[in-house]
Structure 1
Amino acid sequence: MLGRISLMLLALLALEPLSSAARLMTKQQLRERQHEAAKRLDIKPRAGSSSGSGVKNITFTNPRASEFYVDGTSIPLVDFDVGPSWSGLLPISSAPNETRKLFFWFFPPGPQGSLDDLIFWTNGGPGCSSLEGLLQENGPISWSLGQAKATVNQWSWTNISSILYVEQPVGTGFSQGVPNITNEDELAEQLIGFFQQFLEVFSELKGKNFYLTGESYAGTYVPYIASHIFANKSALDLKLKGFWVSDPSLSFDVVQEEIPAVGFVNKYEHVFSFNQSFMEFLNNRSAECGYANYFAEHVSYPPKGLFPLPGKSIEADPGCDLWDTIFDAALLVNPAFNIYRIFDTWPILWDVLGFPGSFPQTQVSPLYFNREDVKKAIHAPLDVDWTECSNINVFVRNDESLPPAFTVLPSVIEQSERAVIVHGLADFILIAEGTRIVIQNMTWNGLQGFQTPIANDSFIVEGMGALGNMHEERGLMYVEVDLSGHMVPQFSPKAAFQIAQWLLGFRDSPSD
């Protein structure tokens, strides 16, 4: 993929019981602070008016657009007006016999958003639905883990721009057809074909500033898609300005999972709660596998040269798959252990999309996007059994492309006006220290890696203070977000929103 109470407040509550009036005042003050912070960021909820007046006026002259119109007052189980949107299936080419189609859902901007920009969002997997991003991350509707009902997403990216969610590649979500791609270049070609069909129906979006965004395995998708667009500028009537990838898959698993895994456990030892003998085993095996001192020996600012892989191949050597060893042990200690956000414990929160933690789990049936009334409302095929992540391989023989850090990512950074890599520090499935290794081993704009340390710059979130680290050099912005898991817009929406504002040029810095 794949409200919070501060520890300080909990400590105060433990020290001295509060009266009912004091508790009410505390909640009221909290609401007022949130309201004031929203005003300072110039954010207004996109939805909530029966007329849809919370959305900027946008019309499409092609009669076909009406086939995809979604009435924002009639989305099942959503008791507020989302405003107009458009969704449905479009083919990946103009061939008359084309049967492969991708499902999309397009939202215009809210009153504070820009009509000059278009954000594309894709989830990863490969084969995981971008409707998860829409409903639980950065869309105008928020129905995240544990929420009893859908609510307005105050930090929706539609407060910045219009946004297009696409379930891709073929074989993902509601999308139609038999997967036939074997690599990222073919994926990009099919998606560009879809974009061409989309712009023919919604032609008023032609010429917009375009931003490619996504998370997880989209860290592989997005650089290849961007590279294809930059190499074929006449193929798409959009101005590609930049990209965002969060908790991204950029290199081999041995780099982003195995090397940093034991160090991650030591950093969060009180979360994992392993016994001393097991910790000794992990630390000894990490040293034997060449992981323990890897960061100290190779990761410097500036780098001293290209980094070697720790083993004999791009895979973990026998006995050195420590990530899986840690995961299995973590589940014994905490059966609710969540690789996407390590702080989760019992009870496992219910999820309207059926994927609340490390594993799929259907706690309510049908899942939201399998309800017939939902499918009808968004023009989705009624005969598809929707799952958040596909049960089939969306690449015929797995993805044969090399990770983008070794191929297209450096040139895509160089050609972008703004390039962003974001990482949640509580993510175990892809670990931030591994992403640091990737960056420091990559050469772009004439130099290898960052020349000065990342930790020198704090990432400040409006009204919250320091919430991680950030660093920019030679066109690449890197941001680490404390407390956030794998899905940064879900687990730290305010932080993600600030970074997205910077991506589109609405802030001088992602940091406050």
Structure 2
Amino acid sequence: MKFSVASVAAFSMAMSVVSAFSIPEIPLLQQNPLGGLDQVQDAISMSPATVSALKDIASSAGERIQDVSAEILHSWAQIEHEFPGGLKRYLQTTAQQDTRFEPKKLAANRNTKWIAKHTMESAPGHVLRVADPSSLGLDDVQQYSGYVDIEEEDKHFFYWFFESRNDPKNDPVLLWLNGGPGCSSMTGQFFELGPSSINEDLTLTWNPSSWNQNASVIFLDQPVNVGFSYSSNRVKNSRAAAEDVHKFLSLFFDKFPKYAKQDFHIAGESYAGHYIPAIATEIQSHSDKNYNLTSILIGNGITDERTQVEYYRPMACGEGGYPAVITPEECDKMERDVPKCQRLVDLCYSTNNRIACVAPNFYCNAVTMGAYQQTGRNVYDIREQCGDSDLCYEQEDWITAYLNQPHVLEAIGAEVEVFEGCKNDVGIDFVFDGDHNRPFHYDVADLLDDGLPVLIYAGDKDFICNWLGNQAWTDTLDWTDAESFFLAETRNWTAQVPTKHGKTKAVHAGTVKNAGKLTYLRVFDAGHMVPFNQPETSLDMVNRWIAGDYAFKG
């Protein structure tokens, strides 16, 4: 599953299946996929366990397996034939979806001082609560944290806001989202682009390259049950999540109207390649909104699975700017298997059927990630081994430890008993809803045609959402200026970074391609989390973008 840094848990679940192809299944069921007793053409052979799991997947979406096309069911039969035992274990997760979900436990005795509670007349039952976390010392700017409560749905979204260090009355506002699905934006705040990072001894280090140098930044934990957010209900796909984000933003800007008149950008990485196009589409569908979206930025995203999946082999086999990390035989096998994966994704794209969209998750992970995983390398940075941390970065453990300190939880207004950087249950819900393989590049095309600027940037040492795949889908995107973008020159990108003497110097930071409102930026020597590997050049990138230099010619 090509998820973000904090979703390795869901990724590992799939990959543990890949290494367990050992239990044979006897194909016992001959089923007519169209459900007509007198029109049996191509009988489909699948085990009862697989059929039962597919029925569950279909019924939870209000569908019937009898109505699923023969082509879709044939695809599942072929997967089962190729990976019998592994598929069985993978689908067992489906049966546990509802029984394993438990709402987060809330803390009983936490004495947060709420400095404000705000409601909006046009949205009864929606409440924004505000705490002042400045005592923690992350930054010396105005900051707020707390929750937006959607009471009728029992949804509670945690946010943390930092004003711009420069000119908050006039500087843009930027919403940051980490991916997963199921991963907290506290990763972005403390590991990548926020005002301070966490050390091993849980002390703070000031970040001079924080993205709030010239923008006010909101870090939001979404969907519900991610990070500090909580609910007794579940959100299982990007479209539903997008509706909630718009509700959050409407209430936030209603409480703080001084920010609503400024430019507003949405940025994020990895699975935010799904989130952000869906959110932007949702926002633009509301003509009566109290804020205006200026642009979107997606870093090392997964947006067009069908196109991007083709580029795992080149990246692993020495064609992406780093030496090969798997054998020629493994490269050849990936070359043979990826077209099968693409045919599965094509079925998802053409039908939008849940059963069709779940199928590629298992097969495509098996054929694109298996050999790479065996190397022990970090999926987020091809140059490194993963190490002992579950998420490949020990800093993630430090962040979790810091945020679970009682004085921190109280200061920020956190209501959950324990903070988790990634919620595996949320990721699995998205997987079995088929969300991962659904196309979101069509949204990007529509947004561009509506005049919204879009920046796609990619660190060129990431494997899991690599720069080759992101370059490919932007090159083939069907939109008004598609031909101009395809033919546009790829230029060197020179970033201005600070020196030790308080001046700036120019560095060759990557390459850039632009036409109309679309820009693609390759960032040299950065992995999946560009601001972590290249803090200074990424700050130059975001500063120039929010200043309107969409072509990076300044």
Instruction: Decide: shared fold, TM above 0.5.
Output: yes
Give 2:524's aligned residue.
482
- Structure 1's unaligned 5+ residue stretches are 3-60, 292-307, 332-336
- Structure 2's unaligned 5+ residue stretches are 6-114, 120-127, 347-359, 497-504
Task: For residues 248-276 of structure 1, give each alpha carbon's deviation from its aligned partner in whole angstroms, at most 9, with x where no partner exists.
Answer: 11012x532454334433247976655xx
Matches within 5 A, 1:52-201: 68-72=130-134, 74-75=135-136, 78=137, 81-92=139-150, 97-112=152-167, 115-143=170-198, 149-201=203-255
SS at match of 2:455: strand
Paired amino acid for 1:156: S
SS at match of 1:440: helix
Paired amino acid for 1:434: G
What is the distance in 2 between the residues matched to 1:81 and 1:185?
Answer: 34
What is the distance in 2 between the residues matched to 1:218 and 1:63?
Answer: 29
Structure 1 residues 471 and 202, CA, compared in 2 at 3 Å: closer, same or farther? same
What is the distance in 2 between the residues matched to 1:498 and 1:356?
Answer: 27
Give 1:502's aligned residue.
544
Which of 367, 370, 379 in structure 2 is aligned with 1:339? Answer: 379
Give 2:24's aligned residue.
none
Give 1:393's aligned residue.
426
Task: For residues 343-386 of structure 1, give each alpha carbon's deviation from its aligned partner in whole angstroms, at most 9, with x where no partner exists.
Answer: 224866x8xxx7444xx8985696221111110111111x4321
Structure 1 residues 399 and 502, CA, compared in 2 at 3 Å: closer, same or farther? farther
Give 2:499's aligned residue.
none
Q: Is residue 170–residue 178 contact of structure 1 (8 Å, CA) maintained in 2?
A: no
- What's the CA shift for 1:287? 3.8
Matched, 1:377 2:439: no
- What's the CA shift for 1:124? 0.7
Tell which deviates more after alignment, 436-445 or 236-245. 436-445
Structure 1 residues 473 and 363, CA, compared in 2 at 3 Å: closer, same or farther? closer
- What's the CA shift for 1:105? 0.5
Structure 1 residues 378 and 272, CA, compared in 2 at 3 Å: closer, same or farther? farther
Q: Is residue 273–residue 440 contact of structure 2 (8 Å, CA) maintained in 1?
A: no
- What's the CA shift for 1:98? 4.5
- What's the CA shift for 1:467? 2.4
Structure 1 residues 320 and 496, CA, compared in 2 at 3 Å: closer, same or farther? closer
Q: Is residue 453–residue 517 contact of structure 2 (8 Å, CA) maintained in 1?
A: yes
Which of 474, 486, 500 in structure 2 is aligned with 1:439? Answer: 474
Give 2:374's aligned residue.
329
Structure 1 residues 393 and 174, CA, compared in 2 at 3 Å: closer, same or farther? same
Give 2:308's aligned residue.
256
Give 1:469's aligned residue.
511
Aligned CA RMSD, in angstroms, stands at: 3.3
Q: Is residue 458–residue 522 contact of structure 2 (8 Å, CA) maintained in 1?
A: yes
- What's the CA shift for 1:183? 3.2
What is the distance in 2 between the residues matched to 1:103 and 1:261?
Answer: 39
Q: Is residue 243–residue 420 contact of structure 1 (8 Å, CA) maintained in 2?
A: yes
SS at match of 1:211: strand
Aligned positions, number: 411
Paired amino acid for 1:125: G
Structure 1 residues 191 and 258, CA, compared in 2 at 3 Å: closer, same or farther? same
Give 2:300's aligned residue.
247
Paired amino acid for 2:182: G
Paired amino acid for 2:368: W
SS at match of 1:129: coil
What is the distance in 1 between the residues matched to 2:312 and 2:466?
Answer: 7
Matched, 1:231 2:285: yes
Q: Is residue 226–residue 426 contact of structure 2 (8 Å, CA) maintained in 1?
A: no
Q: Is residue 159–residue 220 contact of structure 2 (8 Å, CA) maintained in 1?
A: yes
Give 1:283's aligned residue.
331
- What's the CA shift for 1:447? 3.1
Paired amino acid for 1:338: N
SS at match of 2:426: coil
Q: Is residue 316–residue 324 contact of structure 2 (8 Å, CA) maintained in 1?
A: no
Q: Is residue 198–residue 395 contact of structure 2 (8 Å, CA) maintained in 1?
A: no
Paired amino acid for 1:261: R
Paired amino acid for 1:283: C
Q: Is residue 469–residue 481 contact of structure 1 (8 Å, CA) maintained in 2?
A: yes
Q: Is residue 198–residue 398 contact of structure 2 (8 Å, CA) maintained in 1?
A: no
Give 1:33's aligned residue.
none
Q: Is residue 341–residue 426 contact of structure 1 (8 Å, CA) maintained in 2?
A: yes
The structure where helix makes up a greater share of residues is: 2
What is the distance in 2 between the residues matched to 1:502 and 1:387?
Answer: 34
Tell which deviates more after alignment, 133-142 or 191-200. 191-200
- What's the CA shift for 1:88? 0.8
SS at match of 1:197: helix
What is the distance in 2 between the residues matched to 1:439 and 1:287?
Answer: 22
Structure 1 residues 447 and 366, CA, compared in 2 at 3 Å: closer, same or farther? closer
Paired amino acid for 2:445: P
What is the distance in 1 between the residues matched to 2:243 and 2:531?
Answer: 28
SS at match of 2:383: coil
- What's the CA shift for 1:152? 1.4
Could you state the TM-score of these two structures normalised by the residue count of structure 1? 0.71
What is the distance in 2 between the residues matched to 1:135 and 1:114?
Answer: 25
Structure 1 residues 340 and 273, CA, compared in 2 at 3 Å: closer, same or farther? closer
Q: Is residue 120–residue 163 contact of structure 1 (8 Å, CA) maintained in 2?
A: yes
Structure 1 residues 372 and 444, CA, compared in 2 at 3 Å: closer, same or farther? same
Paired amino acid for 2:317: V
